[in-house]
Amino acid sequence: MSDTRRPNLVLITADQWRGDCLSGTGSPHPVMTPHVTQIGCEGARFVNAYADCPVCQPQRVTQLTGQVASRFGLTHNFGGKAQTPVDPLRSLPGRLVREAGYQAQAVGKMHFEPPRARLGFEHIRLHPNDYAMWLEENGMGGMYRGHGLGGNEVYPAVSAVPERFTHTHWVIDEAIRFLYQREPDVPFFLWLVFEAPHSPFDPPEPYDRMYDNFTIPDPVRGDWADEAYPPAFAKRVAMAKYDHLTPEMIREARRKYYGQVSHIDYQLGRFFGELMTRGLYGNTAICFTADHGEHLGDHGLFAKTTFLRGSGDVPLLLRLPATHPPARPDLVVRTPALTADICPTFLELAGLTPDADCDGASLLPALREGRTDDDRRIHGECGGTAFCTDGRFKYLYYEEGGIEQLFDLRSDPDEKTDLSARPDLADTRDALRNSLVEYLLRYNRPMAAGGVLRTVNGEFDEHRIRGMNPYAYRGPMRYGMGYYGHSG
């Protein structure tokens, strides 16, 4: 007899999926995501959801612990050397296994250090290591990123392997295999982490041509970008040579990105169908989110690390199991949310209480009670930038050059007009700035040194920066070797 007292838990994390890339939401991006959108139709969609640190590795820690990056002190990618600060006994999977009798498996891009760390999971099928070895075993050795583009290059491409050999398809195959191999009489926690739609933008056929007949919107550019462009942005543009991309190249890169998004969504249709076929869907909670977004050329940028729209905001959709019905389906929740909220939400669904050092808040009250507009300020920092928002206004700070920005998210969702110098909004700006300083001081963060936001020199040698090429790194992707050239 299956344990119906505790629901199954599925967390789906895409890598670099913009919060506004969902079909049926009025997005300017013409993406087709019927299965992901359905999760929100059955439960709730949080339209002001953010990563507190929009970069890959810190967000893995946040989603497993409910702690923000400012607490564990790593507000950048760890670079493959730092130890991931997760206590496996206190992580989300660790607690579910020890205290609630769950079976816990992870599949996909864990991005842990060391790579084979389980961090509370009983078993991990790891991308790229296990996936690269699987390609070897199936006659596709060396074909992961076989087109030659590196993991952070944004020129459009097509997958070097057929669709059934892509990492997206592999993740779903491994997830379905887990459903067949799991112990049937205990609940399970399954974490699926896709590498896509992270660059390189290389969907397989037919997804590479799926958006050829769609009108592709141009990137947005703020009126502040000409006179108050943050030095950190200018440095990145020079290093990554984004200014070498023509409008046609950017438009095609966007098409390929949308193709990757739809590829994930359609593959999730296979997984959801398997849950239904096996009678598991009704008692399974499903949360879909991302570790961060992707600028896609907005404001001259690609990739992540800022809190501007497209980078700092993420999709966050939650479907509850039949044992925890929402007040009504298809809730659109405007209360600001964080990816740190996922861990306490899943703990509560399993009948457990979050740890005292958990920074997130359960999302269940919003769904149970139909609450959509609670007051809440959320914060975050990533490298040399930080933000605070109450859902209406967003305040951003860049320590290089000491630049402030303030946006009215209701009237200017694309953040084209900086209002930080408007006298009539000085009180709003100061209140959000003070709230951000308090947040940084709470965690003893250096950006709030001396109780004020720190400013550093933003000057740089453009010729030296242009001489760098870290974005083209492809990695030795053979024989089970991972991003940093070892098998773990």
User: Would you state the structure tokens that stand for residue 127, as one six-digit string?
Assistant: 């991308």
pLDDT at residue 78 in the model: 64
C-alpha–C-alpha distance, residues 172 and 453, integer Å = 45
SS3 assignment, position 267: helix
pLDDT at residue 14 in the model: 98
C-alpha–C-alpha distance, residues 369 and 159, integer Å = 45
pTM (predicted TM-score): 0.97
User: 127 burial class (0-12, 13-18, 19+ CB within 10 angstroms)?
Assistant: buried
User: Would you state the structure tokens that stand for residue 171, as one six-digit string?
Assistant: 């993740």
pLDDT at residue 1 in the model: 31
- Are the C-beta atoms of residues 120 and 130 closer than 8 Å to each other? no
Which residue in this structure is represented by tokens 């200018």?
A: 234
The 10 Å Cβ neighbour count of residue 95 is 24
pLDDT at residue 114 in the model: 80
Question: What torsion do the CA atoms of 97, 100, 101, 102 make, to the nearest 10 degrees?
Answer: -60
Buried b (16+ CB within 10 A) or exposed e, 8-32: bbbbbbbbbbbbbbbbebeeebebb
- The parts of the chain modelled with pLDDT lower than 70 are 1-4, 78-84, 486-488
Please write the tens of the pLDDT for every residue from 54-86.
999 999 999 999 999 999 988 888 654 434 578
Which residue in this structure is represented by tokens 């952070």?
A: 152
C-alpha–C-alpha distance, residues 345 and 62, integer Å = 13
SS3 assignment, position 9: strand
pLDDT at residue 483 in the model: 82
List CB contacts of 103: < 8 A, sequence separation 6 or more.
97, 122, 182, 183, 186, 187, 188, 189
C-alpha separations of 423 from 226, 404, 427, 428 in Å: 22, 14, 8, 10
SS3 readout for 72-121: HCCCCCCCCCCCCCCCCCCCHHHHHHHHHCCEEEEEECCCCCCCCCCCCC
SS3 assignment, position 352: coil
- Are the C-beta atoms of residues 341 and 322 closer than 8 Å to each other? no
User: Would you state the structure tokens that stand for residue 17, as one six-digit string?
Assistant: 């999926």
